[in-house]
Chains A and B, each alone.
Chain A
Amino acid sequence: MSLSRKRSIIVRRLLQAIPVIVLSTFIVFGLLKLVPGDVAVTLAGDNASDARIAEIQHIYGLDRPFLVQYGSWLWKAVHGDLSSSLVSSESVLSSIERCLPHTMLIVVLAMLLALVIGIPLGIAAASKPGSWTDGFVMTVASLGVAIPNFWLGMLMVAFFSLDLNWLPATGATPISEDFWDAIRHAILPACALASGGIAEVARQLRSSLVEILSSQQVRTLHAKGLPPSSILWRHGLKNVSVNLLTVISLLFNRMLAATVVVEAVFAIPGMGNLIVNGAIHRDFPVVQGVVFAMVLIVVTLNLLTDVLYSILDPRIS
């Protein structure tokens, strides 16, 4: 594929992202307005009265028509202003700037763990299907998928933090402030988050690798006299790389979502924390801002995946 063609594909995909962002923020906005509960009640506080709530709705423009409210949010967002929290009046952009690094750190760390542990496990299982190793790896993988990550997180805190005192039980340090302390805080949440990922990478890798290794092409390679290790590493893994990439990108998106729970268990002031708090108070600028950022991340990631597909497998364009 020519470079210019590739570039035009990327541009097209980026343009496709725009309706996705508009639509997803619109749906979230609609949901926040549809479910009962009103940020004006939070704002009116303990001494709320009907009149006071109406007054607040007017002050904050919450009494305007639905589309006008969404439109004014979108107009500002297009101009780079994600508004401020209606409750605490912190600018949403600075909230995201502060929270996103915490979330990304544990997600990236969890992803690394999933790959570093999951890939060797998958290979070990696939290289001798039906063997004792295979059975063991698949059992562990099933457990990994089945165990809820928040529960695993609590167990790990009880053991590694409270009993052994090796790692901090809660909180997070900005990575820009103290790199090693940030990593120390991120290890347990990343492990909790990675458990399902390790299992999934191992299982997916095993099944696609088993399929490839039993294909006619591999039989030919065997007949040609290639050593099994060379078949596995050079031909087998290269062929499953596209599958693996799909798993990774799906997993990354899922991990982003799972941080909502893991962050609560470990008291990490990340994006999950931000959106939960925003949603509880119907603080829609905050919720919208987080959704906006998340959609942007996911869209970019999918785009990156597509580009990598075409590099790994030239047949995909």
Chain B
Amino acid sequence: MTNPNRMVGMLSRREILALAGSAALASMTGLPAFAQEAAKKGGILKVAAPANPSSLDPATGGAGSDHSILWTMYDTLVEWDYTTLKPKPGLAKWSYPDPKTMVLDITKGIKFHDGTDLDAEAVKFNLERNRQDPRSNVKADLTSVASVEVTGPLQVTLKLKNPDTALPAILSDRAGMMVSPTNIKALGNDTNRKPVGAGPWKFVSWADNASIVVTRNETYWRPGRPYLDGIEFSIIPELATALRSVIAGENEMAFSLPARLKPVIDRAKNLQVITAPTLYCIQLYFNYARAPLNNVKVRQAINFALDRQAFVKATMSGLGEPATMTLPSSHWAYDKSVSTLYPHDPAKAKKLLAEAGFKDGIELTIGSYNDQDSVRRSEVLQAQLGAAGIRLKFTRGTIAEISAQFFATEKKFDVLLSAWTGRPDPSMTYALGFDKGAYYNAGREADPELVKLIQQSRESEDLAERAKVFAKIQRFIMENGLSAPIAFQYELDALSKKAQGYKPNLLGKPKFENMHLG
């Protein structure tokens, strides 16, 4: 895999079929067909969206599935490169005059949909709201910010408590989505149902669990954009149904489909199938604050017992990448040397268990979800770990139920089979999942060395420098077996032939800015 970031692209049905499950997928370079044809303006794109947004106010919402819809209405201060997630300027350019100061220079002449100027005052208003409003869910993202000052009509300066170079990536997420201050002042938190941003499309309507409609922002700041006159989202949580709506021609696109639907897409005529790597990592979370998983050898044994390659084949029809750490191989902070730590080795796993005092194997309680895909994963997992003498005792339930039992105060189960959806900056992933007291660290305990490394990862502005720190973090996590990443799930989308220009991104949350109707 010498050129790991080139898996993105549109492959024809036959090509993907021939390659499914094979490592050769990596060598298929993205066919940049979409970049060459002239994009036509106009038309309404109909999209089947998998979930009702938790909110259309970026500050108060919480679901990872919201972004695809939020980005249609809100532009972000910072954006990222689709294939590597390296941050790049969005509404603003950033710079660090010194490690504890970040300056944002806002592009001139941008207006919100209601005509309000997107200037330094508006950015300050948003950042202050995001970091102080009691209902804001992004407060934790901005804890390093000490103050926000307007230092010019189009310039905002952030004074930081400590160096924080994760901020550009953080400002490409919810915290950087700019909402019209006029709208917030007029509607307060009701802006949730009547959002006003500065994105390529304007909000028209939202009926819960049914539909969301957006229409072209005629005064969008990027010349010639957007191509589409509007987007109509139908909210269809049942993904097989969502796919049927595309096959029947009722929608042009369905995204985030599970791999088991791949054969259905292939059988249908006139559909394009798109697959691409994402940060979505199926993994085992451990509660390592108590026995038996407080023993590093048991955690390592689990990691050795996993046959990740087989897991990808069996549960994802090959549409995935074996995960040897929480970052996929195309990510800018991926470290190859960590990836070889845990080859599939049941004998080694047994030996480690014996050393840990479990000569006759060990029984672990594990929580898992009750949807079709999760059940299949749990069965494969049970067989793989069983071969190394690790017997899993599953409890299945809904996501809300099981994850709360594991992460919140109850602390049920030793292990949780779940996923991590990924974040724009790797430091967010580590801070949320492994830091002391973090919610997604079920045991809430963390080694001081790891805590220090996570802090350090936000100190340098240079990506190569940061990548080195992330490599250390990643090595620490994997050597200590603090989790067992299993596989990155590929994005799978079905599009009608009419829907053109779609480019997948590594975050796995579709952006529609490049799309047009052929």
Contacts and interface: CB of A to CB of B under 8 A. Distances in A.
Nearest to B238: A264
Contacts, number: 148
A316 interface: no
A53 B207 CA distance: 27
Interface of A: 35-38, 41-50, 52-53, 55, 59, 85, 87-90, 95, 98-99, 154, 157, 161-162, 165, 168-171, 264-267, 269, 273-274, 277, 280-282
Given A38-B404, A282-B400, A49 B236 contact: no
B149 interface: no
Contacts of A154: 240
A47 B432 contact: yes
Contacts of B138: 47
Given A50-B439, A59-B135, A281-B400, A265 B54 contact: no
Given A38-B408, A44-B62, A88-B55, 20 more contacts: A36-B410, A37-B398, A41-B404, A44-B137, A46-B423, A52-B140, A53-B439, A90-B206, A90-B208, A99-B209, A161-B244, A161-B248, A162-B247, A169-B241, A170-B242, A264-B241, A265-B238, A265-B241, A267-B238, A274-B209
Contacts of B404: 36-38, 41
In this complex, which of A55, A87, A98 has the most chain B Cβ atoms within 10 angstroms of its Cβ?
A: A87
Contact of B190 (A44, A47, A89, A274): A89
A47 B245 contact: no
B234 A267 contact: yes
In this complex, which of B53, B138, B210, B248 has the most chain A Cβ atoms within 10 angstroms of its Cβ?
A: B210
14 contacts: A37-B398, A37-B400, A44-B137, A45-B63, A48-B440, A59-B134, A88-B54, A89-B192, A98-B207, A170-B234, A170-B245, A265-B238, A269-B207, A280-B398
Contacts of B376: none
Contacts of B438: 49
A269 B236 CA distance: 9
A38 B62 CA distance: 14
A59 B133 CA distance: 12
A171 B247 contact: no
A92 to B, nearest CB: 10
A43 B55 CA distance: 9
Contacts of A269: 207, 209-211, 235
A95 B137 CA distance: 25
Contacts of A36: 397, 400-402, 404-405, 410
In this complex, which of B189, B242, B404 has the most chain A Cβ atoms within 10 angstroms of its Cβ?
A: B404
Contacts of B117: none
Contact of A88 (B192, B398, B401): B192
Interface in B295-309: none
Contact of B141 (A47, A55, A89, A281): A47
Contacts of B241: 169-170, 264-267
B245 to A, nearest CB: 4
B437 interface: yes
A85 B237 contact: no
Contacts of A274: 208-209
B54 to A, nearest CB: 5
Given A37-B398, A170-B236, A162 B55 contact: no
A280 B238 CA distance: 14
A276 B207 CA distance: 16
Nearest to A85: B208
